[in-house]
Structure 1
């Protein structure tokens, strides 16, 4: 697995030259490369359908032993920042995390023919398959969220995702008949799960895609692993999903900037900045990843109810207790839209959301859930960005 290491600016961190050189030499000895921390997170954001930016709003007094590793996995860039006083322990933790992510990818990936999910997707209807704890939990959670979101989140939407990818390649919007035929091949009710022996049986030929929850699932798993090892401060970034473990090493909450969706290729300005500790932030949107047909952009997020692409919300950011919840809700709320999405969020304890829309003149319209504002660091980002309106 190709893994890169990213160490924060040694001058800002207060490292001595010898300490910095020693750390870099250790990283290179393991085949890692060095690069600025902010560049990693910008790359993470670019791989998402939206952007969560970290580091620009960080304190200038950073501990000298904060290091970041990044590598490609789960179809994106995984980035982990750790603060440990023992360099050898820090290296060991990084290696354990890389191995753990690789293990889960071999279970949940829909793009690896040899993955456990790949084998499940090839399972004929009527036959049972015993699943690993990880896959059984992911499928079970995904199935349950289908009901919670009134069908807006559907792990059996794999054929619909493929339909729109093909549409982009052939430059032709799917017909109503093609969409209906695809919808007929979907449905979580076609999955029979048995928690007594961790088995699943398909009652019809359905195909599962866990892309709407996989990154959040992995981020939480990493956080759990690090917590078990005694780590109290870490930041995990996977595509548009951020999981904060504890607080920033300088004692404050972790700060996450939510990017202006009109400027997807820039580092800023941000729409707002949120502060979280032991929580997660996920952003989903249609302004970075899309299918283009005859010059028109169609969101990469599909609506499993209608079979169309989800065009309601350019960007939605969710704050919640864990990355699995925020990852799933980011997708679901993009499909549901502001009105129905807000109703869902307001019915859930510990979850807040920010919907970002565009009016006809190109101004941003911000709609917050009732408790979102208490996580915002300030409105500085909005003051620097005059094209923002709403409350």
Structure 2
């Protein structure tokens, strides 16, 4: 049986120590580096909190897990309104908000039956009782283009609560949180990009054969081996933007890069 969490700890002469831990979650490998004056045991407790938080998010919002709360919503919200937890409600509400803020390029309903650009208008939230209702059959909400970025923000909250000032969290090289500094330098360098209290989120295809992002324009998989990375201070927003920028056409991408000019955007290979 595989041990869920594995780790290595290295103390330093200055009284601080570096803990490197890794485990599998959200269909990817999660690598964690914590640099702190806390003991090995204390840092392991932090890692365990992170692990438990990711398991909770996956159980709540994994589109592909038939036992998740989100899967239940997708099966039943057309029949009658489904009351959501405050957290899941706020996640879906934010994604609906950013559908408009990304010119429709980020759409959590692209995996619906008979999808078109108006499908998202069939998702109705009630702020009064935190419920969700679909006004037509076949609608499905998929948070996959958002969940890892949201997870980074959840992890950041845990690290702040535990007073961990220097940390690097890497979820499959596509969703990265960097806090504070590397033990021997300023910030953290990831793929030649220097991060300091920032998140790096990447969306795209690493080959012409491996495609997974659906275009809201036509409901088809986006073609081409290209990746887009975004550096932001908020991982959830960064995940949304990288997904939207990848799904956008040239004109939409130019417009979005103007709207979000405060974010750093990297396109590979360059246009």
Settle same-fold status: TM greater than 0.5. Answer: yes
**Could you tell me which residue of structure 2 aligns to residue 114 of structure 1?**
67
2:55 pairs with 1:102: yes
**Could you tell me which residue of structure 2 aligns to residue 195 of structure 1?**
127
User: How big is each residue's C-alpha offset from its partner over 1:231-280, in whole Å with a ceiling of 9 and x where there is no partner?
Assistant: 111111113011112232345111111xxxxxxxxxxxxxxx11111111
User: How big is each residue's C-alpha offset from its partner over 1:204-256, in whole Å with a ceiling of 9 and x where there is no partner?
Assistant: 22111111000101111011111112111111111301111223234511111
**Could you tell me which residue of structure 1 aligns to residue 263 of structure 2?**
351
**Could you tell me which residue of structure 2 aligns to residue 24 of structure 1?**
none
User: How big is each residue's C-alpha offset from its partner over 1:353-390, in whole Å with a ceiling of 9 and x where there is no partner?
Assistant: 01223xxxxxxxx35xxxxxxxxxxxxxxxxxxxxxxx
The CA deviation at 1:108 is: 0.8
Name the TM-score, length of structure 1 as normaliser: 0.63
TM alignment of 1:1-391, pairs within 5 A: 2-7=3-8, 65-85=17-37, 86-125=39-78, 127-159=80-112, 182-184=114-116, 187-205=119-137, 206-239=139-172, 240-257=174-191, 273-288=192-207, 297=209, 299-311=211-223, 314-348=226-260, 350-357=262-269, 366=270
**Structure 2: distance between partners of 1:88 and 1:203:** 51
Q: What SS does the corresponding residue of 1:153 show, helix, strand or coil? A: coil
Contact 2:109–2:115 under 8 Å retained in 1: no
**Structure 1: distance between partners of 2:228 and 2:147:** 18
Q: What SS does the corresponding residue of 2:23 show, helix, strand or coil? A: strand
Contact 2:116–2:218 under 8 Å retained in 1: no
**Structure 2: distance between partners of 1:275 and 1:136:** 34
**Structure 2: distance between partners of 1:124 and 1:280:** 33
Contact 2:117–2:216 under 8 Å retained in 1: no
Shift in CA distance, 68/329, structure 1 to aligned 2, threshold 3 Å? same
The CA deviation at 1:340 is: 2.6
Q: What SS does the corresponding residue of 1:182 show, helix, strand or coil? A: coil
Q: Which runs of 5+ in 2 are unaligned?
A: none
Which structure has the larger Rg over C-alpha atoms?
A: 1
Shift in CA distance, 82/338, structure 1 to aligned 2, threshold 3 Å? farther
**Structure 2: distance between partners of 1:201 and 1:190:** 8
More displaced, 138-147 or 309-318? 309-318
**Structure 2: distance between partners of 1:217 and 1:153:** 15
Q: What SS does the corresponding residue of 1:316 show, helix, strand or coil? A: strand
Higher helix content, 1 or 2? 1
**Structure 2: distance between partners of 1:308 and 1:100:** 33
User: How big is each residue's C-alpha offset from its partner over 1:111-165, in whole Å with a ceiling of 9 and x where there is no partner?
Assistant: 2222111111111425111111221121111111111222221111224xxxxxx
More displaced, 181-190 or 207-216? 181-190
Q: Which runs of 5+ in 1 are unaligned?
A: 16-61, 160-180, 258-272, 291-296, 358-365, 368-391
**Structure 2: distance between partners of 1:2 and 1:96:** 16
Q: CA RMSD in A?
A: 2.5
Q: What SS does the corresponding residue of 2:92 show, helix, strand or coil? A: helix
Size of the aligned set, in residue pairs, is: 267
The CA deviation at 1:71 is: 1.5
**Structure 1: distance between partners of 2:254 and 2:198:** 20
Name the TM-score, length of structure 2 as normaliser: 0.88
